[in-house]
A = this chain, B = another copy of it.
C-alpha cells in the first residue's frame, strides 16, 4: 500500500477519485498528464492495493476510491507514532468513524 501511494501520478489519481467520486478511465486520463494506457496501469496498481474498485459499464470502466482501505495505514501510524499525543487523539476518532 505504501508502494501504491508512493508514485505521485498514482496518488493524484487516487486523490481525484476520493474527491470527485466515481470516474471513468477516460475522464481520469484528461487531466492526468500521462497517456491512457499509463492511467490504466496505475489504476491496476491501486486496485491491487485495494485502494480503488471498478465497475464495467458498456465500453467504459468506472473507478471509485475506497478510502476505508487506508485503515491499515492508520493502524501503522498509530503503532509507530505512539509519541505525540494530541495528534493521536484525533487519530482515535478517525479510526472509530472508519470502523462503522
Q: Which residues of A contact B (CB under 8 A)?
A: 2-3, 5-6, 11, 14-15, 18-19, 21, 65, 67-68, 70-71, 73-74, 77-78, 80-85, 87, 90-91, 94, 97-98
- How near does chain B come to A74, taking the closest CB pair, in angstroms? 6
Query: Which residues does chain B contribute within 8 Å of A70, judged by CB atoms?
Result: 77, 80-81
**Contact at B83–A68, with CB atoms within 8 Å?**
yes
Q: Which 6 A-B pairs have the closest CB atoms?
A: A67-B84, A6-B6, A2-B6, A18-B80, A67-B81, A3-B6
A78-B94 contact in complex given A19-B83, A71-B87, A87-B71, C-beta closer than 8 Å: yes
Ordered by A's residue number, 14 sampled pairs between the chains whose C-beta atoms are within 8 Å are A18-B80, A18-B83, A21-B87, A65-B80, A67-B80, A67-B81, A67-B83, A67-B84, A68-B84, A70-B81, A74-B81, A74-B87, A74-B90, A78-B94
